[in-house]
């Protein structure tokens, strides 16, 4: 059960003029939804490619060459997905806040972002990004990343089935 303050804030968000405009438009909502899907595609595509490379695939392409641009693409995808996701959330915040799949998706996205931040601070990641062999801790983080982000995508798709 949500606290009265949270419920009041969610209700206010649903009355935000942008949220009302998205609900009332037969064009704006689908465009924001498409932008969200494209953003998730950027994020997921970059992450999966990098994680698979860290796990041993695509050995012809050095981590030093793939890593930096793929991390930037993933970060851009995450920022765009968060912005468009917030807009989509604003159209029905009370319903989304009670949807277990939505809550799971948020938790997994947060966990995925924390895993990426921790990997960026891992000295073995920095060595791999400089051309050294990929350390087991980096491979473990890559495997966790794959599982977390696949889970986030599945939870995201599941949201509509629980509404």
Per-residue pLDDT tens over the stretch 62-114: 999 999 999 999 999 999 999 999 999 999 999 999 999 999 999 999 999 99
Rounded average pLDDT over 140-159 = 97
Rounded average pLDDT over 150-159 = 96
Q: Cβ atoms within 10 A of the Cβ of 159, count?
A: 18
> What local confidence, expressed as pLDDT, does residue 131 receive?
87
Do the Cβ atoms of 90 and 22 come closer than 8 Å?
yes
pLDDT-based confidence at residue 24 (cuts at 50, 70, 90): very high
- The domain spans of the chain are 4-162
Which residue, 139, 157, 155, is CA-closest to 51? 139
Whether the pLDDT of residue 2 is over 80: the answer is: no
Please state, in angstroms and as integers, the Cα–Cα distance from residue 149 to each residue in 123, 124, 153, following that order: 23, 22, 6
> What local confidence, expressed as pLDDT, does residue 36 receive?
97
pLDDT digits (tens, 9 = 90+) for 38-62: 999 999 999 999 999 999 999 999 9
Do the Cβ atoms of 100 and 160 come closer than 8 Å?
no
Burial 3-13 (b: 16+ CB within 10 A, else e): eeeeeeebeeb
Average pLDDT, whole number, for the chain?
Answer: 95
Q: What span, in angstroms and rounded, lies between the C-alpha atoms of 105 and 82?
A: 12
Round to the nearest angstrom and report the end-to-end CA distance of the chain: 17
Whether the pLDDT of residue 160 is over 90: the answer is: no
> What local confidence, expressed as pLDDT, does residue 55 receive?
97
> What local confidence, expressed as pLDDT, does residue 162 receive?
83
Phi, psi of 57 (to 5 degrees): -80, 165
pLDDT-based confidence at residue 1 (cuts at 50, 70, 90): low
Cα–chain center distance at 28: 22
> What local confidence, expressed as pLDDT, does residue 112 receive?
97
């Amino acid at each position: 059960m949500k606290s009265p303050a949270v419920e009041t804030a969610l209700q206010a968000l649903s009355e935000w003029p942008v949220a009302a405009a998205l609900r009332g438009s037969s064009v704006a909502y689908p465009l924001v939804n498409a932008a969200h899907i494209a953003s998730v595609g950027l994020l997921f595509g970059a992450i999966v490619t990098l994680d698979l490379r860290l796990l041993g695939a695509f050995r012809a392409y050095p981590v030093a060459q793939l890593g930096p641009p793929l991390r930037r693409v993933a970060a851009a995808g995450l920022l765009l997905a968060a912005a468009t996701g917030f807009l989509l959330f604003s159209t029905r915040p009370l319903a989304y806040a009670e949807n277990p799949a939505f809550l799971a998706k948020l938790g997994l996205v947060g966990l995925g972002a924390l895993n990426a931040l921790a990997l960026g601070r891992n000295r073995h990641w920095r060595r791999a990004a400089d051309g050294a062999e990929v350390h087991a801790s980096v491979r473990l983080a890559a495997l966790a990343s794959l599982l977390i982000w696949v889970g986030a995508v599945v939870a995201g798709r599941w949201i509509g089935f629980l509404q």
